[in-house]
Amino acid sequence: MAGTTDSGDGRRGNPWRMAVWGIAALLLLLPLFAMQFTDEVAWDLADFAIFGAMLFCACGTYELAARATGNKAYRAAVGIALAAAFILVWMNLAVGIIGNEENPANLMYGGVLAVGVIGAIIARFQPHGMGRAMVATALAQALVAVIAMIAGLGYTFVLTGVFVALWLISARLFLNAAREQAHAGAAP
């Protein structure tokens, strides 16, 4: 079966993908652990359900990408893009990036994610098009910061810089994957 490996001892599966799911489980348990020692973390069932659903979606999407290709650059690009999207959504839900989590200006970050998702669909998840989609996502992220600054909603340039860097690193890795794919196709 494509996407699985046999390690020789009868176990099947990719240890990196297993690590992704294991880390997700640990991340889900971390707030529960913190709640035992501090009142600063006060999650209810809905918080755990939302965080669990977000982790499941991110890890499931990575799992699909990992099964679809053996290209390490593509997998890394997907991982970085998913991590950036996950952190962007979580920060917005938890505390908000522009002001607090109730500030409607934070909805602009949904547009950033929409650019990435729509770009990926248009690109049919092919590496070259995915690289372009991630560049467009980085530009959308920067545009949100510029709009927030012009509207006097606050400066988010350092955080924006981190997200723009993540989107651009992902874009570069997708373009590397496209180059590797082209070389593999040209090889006899």
Cα separation, 100 vs 102, whole angstroms: 5
Mean pLDDT score of the chain: 89
Let me know whether 60 and 137 are in one domain: no
In a domain, 1, yes or no: no
Cα separation, 55 vs 58, whole angstroms: 5
Q: Which residue has the higher pLDDT, 152 or 188?
A: 152
Per the DSSP assignment, residues forming a β-bridge with 6 are 12
Let me know whether 110 and 137 are in one domain: yes
Let me know whether 18 and 107 are in one domain: no
Cα separation, 185 vs 188, whole angstroms: 8
Let me know whether 112 and 176 are in one domain: yes
Range of the domain at 62: 14-68
Per the DSSP assignment, residues forming a β-bridge with 12 are 6
Let me know whether 86 and 164 are in one domain: yes
Tell me the pLDDT tens digit for each residue of 19-36.
Answer: 889 999 999 999 999 999
Count: domains in the chain: 2
Cα separation, 102 vs 181, whole angstroms: 44
Let me know whether 54 and 82 are in one domain: no
pLDDT band at 150 (very low <50, low <70, confident <90, very high): very high
Does 153 have pLDDT greater than 90? no
pLDDT computed for residue 12 by the predictor: 54
Indicate the pTM of the whole model.
Answer: 0.85
Let me know whether 82 and 61 are in one domain: no
Percent of the chain exceeding pLDDT 90 equals 72
In a domain, 146, yes or no: yes
Let me know whether 36 and 119 are in one domain: no
In a domain, 18, yes or no: yes
Tell me the pLDDT tens digit for each residue of 68-116.
Answer: 888 999 999 999 999 999 999 999 998 889 988 889 999 999 999 999 9
In a domain, 113, yes or no: yes
Does 3 have pLDDT greater than 70? no
